[in-house]
Structure 1
Amino acid sequence: MTRLPSTPPAQLDANALALYEKITAGPRGTTMLDDQGVLVGPFNAMLLSPPVGDALQELGAAIRYRSGLSARAREIAILVVAGHWDSAFELRVHEEIGRGLGLTEDELAALRTGAPLELADPGEDAVLRVTRALVTRADLDDPEYAELGESVVFELTTLVGYYATLALQLRVFRV
């Protein structure tokens, strides 16, 4: 059972309501709302501290919508983190996105469990290997570091940290 209150928008204070409106007006739209109009997943928790929640959701929007990673590569990385943290909410949401991008059920299962997986696209395969190294060792060796280029390594380390943060929050708040 969740530890977070399900506060309808009409009951939010001015700062939380402003953040709620920013989240729901952005690229995520109303996909993160329940049938009562309450934010679900990590977004409901962000309303607990609107200044921090806003910064966190802005980082998430940059990772999801302004990254140099391809959509499939980004979802592969997100699913590696979600699987590593056993984050049911993130797995459910991002597996559905992954299916829409052509990831197979076998690929999704391997991303969820950490099972061996070789992807046909060399860039996606490199993202998979590097992300797995980041979540298991919290570091990269020199060949892994050099494999994707510094800007991609920067984006992947940011993505791993962001989704690990969400997984932790989802676990603690029992979402």
Structure 2
Amino acid sequence: MARLRRTPPHDLAPPARALYEKITAGPRGPFMVDPEGGLTGPFNAMLLSPPVGDALQELGAAVRYRSTLTDRARELAILVVAGHHDSAFERAAHEPIARDLGFTGDQLQALRDGSPLSLPEDEQAILDVARALVARGDLDDDEYTRLGERELFELTTLVGYYATLALQLRVFRL
């Protein structure tokens, strides 16, 4: 059971309402609103502290829509984090996207349970590095050199962002 009540937009204080409007006006908006108008998933918790919530959702928008990671690399890494943290919300949100990008049911299952997965070399590097990040929070020298520094920066940021969301989803029972 959720610990955090979904607040309809008409009950929000002005700063939270402004953040609500910003989230729902963006590309994620249509998917994050429940039938009563409340935000679903981690976005509802962001309304608790509009300054922090806005910075967090802006970071999410940057890693989702403005990084150089390919769509497949991004969804692969998100699903590694979701699998590691057993985040049902993130799996439900991102597995359909991954399917649309050509991931098979067997590949999605391997991402859920952390079993071996064979992918093209560039995606295998993303998978291996993302798995190392969630498992150990660090990379050895070989893992570090598998990606360019910009790609590695963007990947570590994405993994950290989705790990934060997984933590908030778990704590608030969202």
CA–CA distance in structure 2, aligned partners of residues 39 and 102 of structure 1: 29
Match of 2:83 in 1: 83
Match of 2:21 in 1: 21
> What is the TM-score of this pair, normalised by structure 1?
0.98
1:131 aligns with 2:130: yes
Match of 2:160 in 1: 161
Percent of aligned positions with the same letter in both sequences? Answer: 71
AA in 2 matched with 1:33 = V
1:170 aligns with 2:169: yes
- The unaligned stretches of length 5 or more in structure 2 are none
Please show how residues 51-66 of structure 1 align to structure 2 within 5 Å: 51-66=51-66
Aligned residue pairs total 174
CA–CA distance in structure 2, aligned partners of residues 44 and 82 of structure 1: 19
Q: CA deviation at 1:83?
A: 0.4
AA in 1 matched with 2:108 = L
Q: Secondary structure at the match of 2:97?
A: helix
CA–CA distance in structure 2, aligned partners of residues 115 and 129 of structure 1: 12
CA–CA distance in structure 2, aligned partners of residues 115 and 64 of structure 1: 25
Q: CA deviation at 1:79?
A: 0.2
CA–CA distance in structure 2, aligned partners of residues 36 and 30 of structure 1: 13
Match of 1:42 in 2: 42
CA–CA distance in structure 1, aligned partners of residues 6 and 53 of structure 2: 16
- Aligned-residue Cα RMSD (Å) equals 0.7
Q: CA deviation at 1:68?
A: 0.4
Q: Secondary structure at the match of 2:59?
A: helix
Q: CA deviation at 1:29?
A: 2.5
CA–CA distance in structure 2, aligned partners of residues 95 and 27 of structure 1: 17
Match of 1:111 in 2: 111
AA in 1 matched with 2:58 = E
Per-residue Cα deviation, 1:56-107 (whole angstroms, up to 9, x for no partner): 0000000000010000110000000010000110011111111111110000
Q: Secondary structure at the match of 2:3?
A: coil
AA in 2 matched with 1:173 = F
Worse-superposed segment, 41-50 or 22-31: 22-31
CA–CA distance in structure 2, aligned partners of residues 163 and 48 of structure 1: 18
AA in 2 matched with 1:62 = A
- The unaligned stretches of length 5 or more in structure 1 are none
CA–CA distance in structure 2, aligned partners of residues 16 and 85 of structure 1: 28
AA in 2 matched with 1:145 = Y
CA–CA distance in structure 1, aligned partners of residues 118 and 93 of structure 2: 23
1:145 aligns with 2:166: no
